[in-house]
Structure 1
Amino acid sequence: MNAFRGPVNETGAGGSQGPAWSEAQRLSALESYGVLDTPPERAFDEVVELAAQLCAAPIAVVNLISEHRQFFKAEIGLGVRETPLDVSICAHAILQPDLFVVTDTTQDPRFAANPMVTGAPHLRFYAGSLLKTEEGLPLGTLCVLDHKPRPEGLTEQQAFALHVLARQVMAQLELRRALAEREASERRFRVLADAMPQMVWSTLPDGAHDYYNARWYDFTGVPFGSTDGAGWNGMFHPEDQGRAWERWRHSLETGEPYEIEYRLRRADGVYRWALGRAMPVRDSQGRIERWFGTCTDIEDIKATEDALRISEERLRLALGAAEMIGTFVWDAAQDRLTADPGFARLFGQAPEAMGSGVRLAVLVPRIDPDDLARLRRQIGAAMETGSAFEAEFRLRHKAEGTRWVVARGRCAHDAAGRPVRFSGAVVDITERKRAEEGQELLARELSHRIKNIFTVIGGMVTLSASGTSPEVRGFANSLRRRLNALAAAHEYVRPHSAESGPAATETTLRGLLATLLAPYGVEEAARIELLGDDVPVGVKAATSLALILHELATNAAKYGALSRPEGSVTIEGARLGERFGLTWRESGGPEVEGPPVRRGFGTILAERGAITQLGGSIAQDWPREGLVLRLEVPLARLAY
């Protein structure tokens, strides 16, 4: 007797227990394939043709069970695309664990009164194999039907073939959905890229360009697709083409990020300076899948740099001119200040009067009121303590406007400790102040643009990984976290707003550690403790340190001390002559059995940064209580 013959109880072999899924889950899964009400497709039509031939049946259907109807994605022998759900035999079939066979519908009380049994097309035999997702949610069946009963059911070969063909239908549905999801992902990426102020591009692993956003074509004015492949290099200034190509070839060979400044031809033929940057996207094995890059117009920034150079030259000339420097002596007891012509000019006084001496109150109206109270406090403190005096303040001139000056001096005291003479010099630093303001503006603009680039690349990584395998998504998440660590380090040492962090001159290793390790409980002394010496940290050193510390903290949270509530990390810094030592020590985590068998990409990248970027050394010990890592770096490289 055939094992697939005869009607099967709807509850399956397990008795009256219902399905492990809900109807809402099933309908949601069906909706995700986007297949309902789509036109016929050859791939599905061929499946029903083959099923009908193998099972010697006049009717075969790829049937999808919706909420109120059954939709036939492919059919042969029926001549319709859908029927109401109340006449569906497949609606019973999806409740079965596998193959559902009805040898004679007129003898089955569930179907004997079905209009499709009692009337046309007079269905007497049914056999259906489930179309189900990897999660076990049934979407419908691949079924064959006959106008005559079949007491013998299906042969084992026919049943096996129906199973195989049902899996082929699901494979086609999965492929359809994957392609549709990819086209949504690509559409979102293009919308995002076209919204960016930068020119965005991407290449194949070999460096052949295959995509530019709308901003590229708007800026260059070239026809669509004309710069694909290697045509981009012709857009650069002839003097920059060789250098740009050599730098790009180096990145392709080494996998290192690409960064270069070159002159790019605009649509009107004018060459403008641009910053080109690119990052590789790798698969789970570390192979480069694509390169994503940007071109940013920095012509205005270049012009600002030129203006700053001119301002600095003017400043040097100004500081070298005697009339921009003045000296003074103030007799505190007699309140009489004498000064040279340079001082007189700065304060808008007659040189003869200043040579004879004036009361201090004569000079007060020239001082900006917003600076006056502070200046008086600084003078008072210097007179009281005898310490060196230095103050910057503004002077108001009717003809020249506001001028910045810096005053330096010291107050002498008599034997009784009373202030008697306050002498010093005043220097006009207006040009320097203007140059500093320009530099600050440039630094903030560059910081803002770099932060935008981190955001763009992070968005590209997310979009590129969507709809891919879990391995690729995991790699993308890891890459995005590393980018976030670099962005946090950059924001700390180069803040682009007053609220975002300390001034660049105040950045230290301890401050950088606190910023990077905040997500791992740095504020909780019992979890992460910062000890020892602190040192200044520069921009370039911060990025390499960010990668190292990010990898250490991430690994500690996943596998080491921070993976358990009782675990802790101690970070201790120590000056070692001309070098600085940093020790990372874990305890309280899982017991360590020895060094890891395989080093991850992030660990390799961090070690390479410690050696090549910082000029230092890194060593790891693996005692049973936890990892101990020692990093030594020249102090001069840390501040760079």
Structure 2
Amino acid sequence: MTIQSNLMWPVGSPPAPSFTHEQQRLQVLESYVLDSLVDDPELRTITEFAARLCDAPVALISLVEEERQLFLAREGLDARETPRDVSFCAHAMLHDSVMLVPDATQDDRFADNPLVTGAPHIRFYAGQPLISQEGAPLGTLCVIDSHPRPQGLTSLQRQGLVVLGQSVMRRLRSRRGQIESIRRLQRSEEQLRALADSMPDIAWSADANGKLDYFNSRWFEYTGVKDAEYKRDLVHPEDYERASAAWKQAVRDGTPYEAESRLRSANGEWRWMLVRAEPVMDDEGRAHRWFGTMTDVDEAHRLSETRELLARELSHRIKNIFAVVAGLISLAVRKKPEHREFAEELTGTIRALGRAHDYVRPSGGQRQGTLLGMLGDLFQPYADSSGPRVHVQGDDAPIAARAATPVALVFHELATNSAKYGALSNDTGVVELAIEDRGEMLKLRWVEQGGPPPGSEMNEGFGSRLVDMSVKGQLGGSWERRFTEEGLVVELKLSRQAISPDP
């Protein structure tokens, strides 16, 4: 039952009429879960003090149930309960203040009561009503004596019973609030479990040390295990060490976890799972709980493997085509040596395309998917025994497969021209290529040094047009070139968006 108010019932007010009906009163009474408060230390302290305050041998906190009155705390009495039909408190709880019975043998309500005619031989009774915040009468805080007290209680004693009665209700209200909070938490947990069980994925959680301690129903359906334990033999032997090391690292660092591994199903099939987890941080920024999911990605994983296999085969065939074309050109030029220069230039371009193709492949092989890595590969054929002759330095950037071919064509053209007419045409010349990150643009500066004296004019041949189309059309940039006393200087500005992989 939901608590209706957080306020105490006003002192001196009778119970609310709507809660004097037995069914409504008992509903409120049940919300306190009274058995959990029997012999409560705080309530026992109150009864002990009430007995001393009123100089009475017996003091009780009595809650009146449907068929009995239960003593949550008692002083001077062994019994834990008595039948309701002999209860003094069932009368007292309906009053608006302390009910006094100076001599029970002279009171028509109680003269024949077994508790008066027999043990404990009640003569004097004083009971302070215990009324819930809704106004439901619950029972009393009472003191009992086996001797009549015509004078009743002193003013201080009556006031003391009222104050102690309020203390009892504060304790009962606190306990009721705890129970209500527990019930709300239980309902919330039940709702979360129902939500987790409705998910097609496996949902799980772990403690601060990374020990998995909860799985939704999907886990048991998939694995066929009976307990919520993440056993090593459920993970493929080839994946366990890698996934386990990554999980331990995430737990140590308190960072999100993501890994793919194969999980054994109930029928023994291994299926790929994408396992993710997010930490829940405490006030000190440490992970004190983990929540995660396991998503079946087996079909996507196998499709990806198939595509990768096809891509490798296609890549291999394309590389073969490059080699065949280069070979055919070499054979053709033997019959027409006057075209040798053009043939060598064309063959060089095809080989550059072959090296660029390593970056176009989905797998990428051993290649580095960065601008510095790709340029290093492209210029490797120009190195000599002393080392590289094209020195690439500066800021690096990831490069998308779609940008690999135009970048390779641009720098192959620059290197080829340098090998024919510039710094790379002799044994001493070098090229310095500096890359500068300028936010949305990358600036690349090609500077030739140590070559033959540069020409005074720049011819606009096919190579220049190829560079112009690649830079402006595919790389979203611009370029300039000029001759200095040292040699050719080319400045290129490329769009970062054009060369970067998609997020």
TM-score in terms of structure 2 length: 0.55
The CA distance in 1 between the partners of 2:397 and 2:406, in whole Å, is: 16
**Alignment length (residue pairs):** 305
Structure 1 position 337 matched with structure 2 position 204:
no
CA deviations 1:491-518 (Å, max 9, x no partner) are 24327784xx33xxx5111111011100
Residue 559 of structure 1: how far off its partner (Å): 1.9
Within-5 A mapping of 1:47-86:
none
In the superposition, relative to structure 1, how do residues 401 and 524 fare at CA in structure 2: closer, same or farther (>3 Å)?
farther
> Could you say which residue in structure 1 is the equivalent of 2:434?
572
Residue 557 of structure 1: how far off its partner (Å): 2.1
Structure 1 position 327 matched with structure 2 position 210:
no
Aligned counterpart for 1:625 among listed residues 481, 486, 490 = 486
The CA distance in 2 between the partners of 1:454 and 1:494, in whole Å, is: 15
The CA distance in 2 between the partners of 1:465 and 1:525, in whole Å, is: 32
Amino acid in structure 2 at the alignment position of 1:328: W
> Could you say which residue in structure 1 is the equivalent of 2:344?
477
Within-5 A mapping of 1:190-201:
none
In the superposition, relative to structure 1, how do residues 465 and 563 fare at CA in structure 2: closer, same or farther (>3 Å)?
closer
Within-5 A mapping of 1:221-370:
323-331=199-207, 337-350=213-226, 353=227, 358-360=228-230, 363-370=231-238
Aligned counterpart for 1:378 among listed residues 246, 259, 266 = 246
Note if contact 1:507-1:538 (Cα within 8 Å) is conserved in structure 2. yes
Within-5 A mapping of 1:145-544:
323-331=199-207, 337-350=213-226, 353=227, 358-360=228-230, 363-399=231-267, 401-411=269-279, 420-468=288-336, 470-494=337-361, 498=365, 501-502=366-367, 506-521=368-383, 527-544=389-406
Amino acid in structure 1 at the alignment position of 2:254: G
> Could you say which residue in structure 2 is the equivalent of 1:607?
468
> Could you say which residue in structure 2 is the equivalent of 1:85?
none
Note if contact 2:352-2:378 (Cα within 8 Å) is conserved in structure 1. yes
The CA distance in 1 between the partners of 2:268 and 2:385, in whole Å, is: 52
Amino acid in structure 2 at the alignment position of 1:586: E
Note if contact 2:443-2:493 (Cα within 8 Å) is conserved in structure 1. yes
In the superposition, relative to structure 1, how do residues 621 and 522 fare at CA in structure 2: closer, same or farther (>3 Å)?
farther
CA deviations 1:116-165 (Å, max 9, x no partner) are xxxxxxxxxxxxxxxxxxxxxxxxxxxxxxxxxxxxxxxxxxxxxxxxxx
In the superposition, relative to structure 1, how do residues 420 and 538 fare at CA in structure 2: closer, same or farther (>3 Å)?
closer
Note if contact 1:328-1:340 (Cα within 8 Å) is conserved in structure 2. yes
The alignment's C-alpha RMSD in Å is 2.9
> Could you say which residue in structure 2 is the equivalent of 1:547?
409
Residue 613 of structure 1: how far off its partner (Å): 2.9
Note if contact 1:530-1:572 (Cα within 8 Å) is conserved in structure 2. yes
Amino acid in structure 2 at the alignment position of 1:339: F
> Could you say which residue in structure 2 is the equivalent of 1:24?
none
Structure 1 position 559 matched with structure 2 position 434:
no
Residue 419 of structure 1: how far off its partner (Å): 6.6
Amino acid in structure 2 at the alignment position of 1:493: V
Residue 422 of structure 1: how far off its partner (Å): 2.9
The CA distance in 2 between the partners of 1:339 and 1:524, in whole Å, is: 62
Larger Rg: 2
Which region of structure 1 is more displaced relative to structure 2, 396-405 or 542-551?
Answer: 396-405
The CA distance in 2 between the partners of 1:334 and 1:487, in whole Å, is: 48
Amino acid in structure 2 at the alignment position of 1:532: G
The answer to which structure, 1 or 2, has the higher relative contact order (CA under 8 A, 6+ apart) is 2
In the superposition, relative to structure 1, how do residues 390 and 336 fare at CA in structure 2: closer, same or farther (>3 Å)?
closer
The CA distance in 2 between the partners of 1:455 and 1:623, in whole Å, is: 38
The CA distance in 2 between the partners of 1:619 and 1:322, in whole Å, is: 62
Structure 2 unaligned runs (5+)?
Answer: 1-196
TM-score in terms of structure 1 length: 0.44
> Could you say which residue in structure 2 is the equivalent of 1:587?
449
Instruction: Provide the identity percentage.
Output: 37
Note if contact 2:380-2:388 (Cα within 8 Å) is conserved in structure 1. no
The CA distance in 2 between the partners of 1:385 and 1:443, in whole Å, is: 37
In the superposition, relative to structure 1, how do residues 335 and 491 fare at CA in structure 2: closer, same or farther (>3 Å)?
closer
The CA distance in 2 between the partners of 1:602 and 1:454, in whole Å, is: 20
Structure 1 unaligned runs (5+)?
Answer: 1-320
Q: Secondary structure in 1 aligned to 2:379?
A: helix
In the superposition, relative to structure 1, how do residues 561 and 421 fare at CA in structure 2: closer, same or farther (>3 Å)?
same
Q: Secondary structure in 2 aligned to 1:480?
A: helix
Note if contact 2:450-2:487 (Cα within 8 Å) is conserved in structure 1. yes
The CA distance in 1 between the partners of 2:212 and 2:373, in whole Å, is: 48
Amino acid in structure 1 at the alignment position of 2:351: N
